Amino acid sequence: NNVIALCDALQELGEYSEAKLKYEELLIKKSISEENLFNIYKQIGNLSVRDGDLEAAEEYYNKAFSIDSKSDTLLVNFGTLEMQRGDYEKALIRFREAIEINKSNAKAWIGLGMIHRKYGDHELSIANIVCALDLEPENKTALKLYSDWSVHSSCIQSACERLEAYLEKNDQDVEFILIYAKLNFILGKIDKAKLEAEKAFSLEPENIDTLEFINIVNKKI
């Protein structure tokens, strides 16, 4: 368990190759609980996806699946793997299976949303992302997708409200301050857009995107 904790810590530090080696060393040991073995297989699969070795990833995911076929987390990982392969139909099946097991899996809803977007079903894709955000209002992937997609739909105001709620708790997040500023600009709230852009600039003066956006805003004033 201590070694598994070390592997997890290495991943958090971005030492992915080292973490993978440690996980593989653990597999040599004979006295590993089924639960730990499942997690080791899953993590090596995840790290293989990161390395772009999708065949190895599938092999380890299948080993994990043979231990626990009802893990929604693993099914989401399978879905992500199929997305990377470009097999959106298989990915869709995996994400749906994950949601059947656990309707509260935000990552599965995000995966569904991305697939439906690929298929051109924009309304359904947004509905999927809303499900993810209702479960995890501060999920940055879901929030960014919702903000991006809102520009071509009728939910910019809703996206602004979700961004406001996020920024109340994360007021130093320059990326999302700028997204919020841009949506306000699209809504015609130029003063608000300028205020938020200047806030982003004060936090990160070297950010090129912020500087370019401030120039655009100033031309409108």
Q: What is the pLDDT of residues 69-102, one digit of tens each?
A: 999 999 999 999 999 999 999 999 999 999 999 9
CA-CA-CA-CA torsion sign (52, 1, 38, 27): positive
Residue 61 — very low, low, confident or very high, per pLDDT cuts 50/70/90?
Answer: very high
- pLDDT tens-digit series, residues 165-219: 999 999 999 999 999 999 999 999 999 999 999 999 999 999 999 999 999 999 9
pLDDT at residue 30, rounded to an integer: 66
CATH class (in words) of the domain with range 72-136:
mainly alpha
Asked whether this chain's domains 1-69 and 72-136 adopt the same fold, the reply is yes
**Can you tell me the distance from the alpha carbon of 56 to that of 73, in angstroms, rounded to the nearest whole number?**
18
Lowest-confidence range among 18-32, 51-65, 124-138? 18-32
Q: Does CATH place domain 1-69 in 3.40.190.10?
A: no
More confident of the two residues 138 and 13: 138
- pLDDT tens-digit series, residues 99-135: 999 999 999 999 999 999 999 999 999 999 999 999 9
Give yes or no for a contact between 124 and 144, defined as CB atoms under 8 angstroms apart.
no
Residue 1 — very low, low, confident or very high, per pLDDT cuts 50/70/90?
Answer: low
Kindly report the average pLDDT of the chain as a whole number.
Answer: 94
Lowest-confidence range among 28-32, 53-57, 160-164? 28-32
Q: Does CATH place domain 156-221 in 1.10.1040.10?
A: no
- Reading the block at residue 137, the tokens are 């209002």
Please state the domain extents for the chain: 1-69, 72-136, 156-221
Q: What percent of the chain has pLDDT over 90?
A: 78
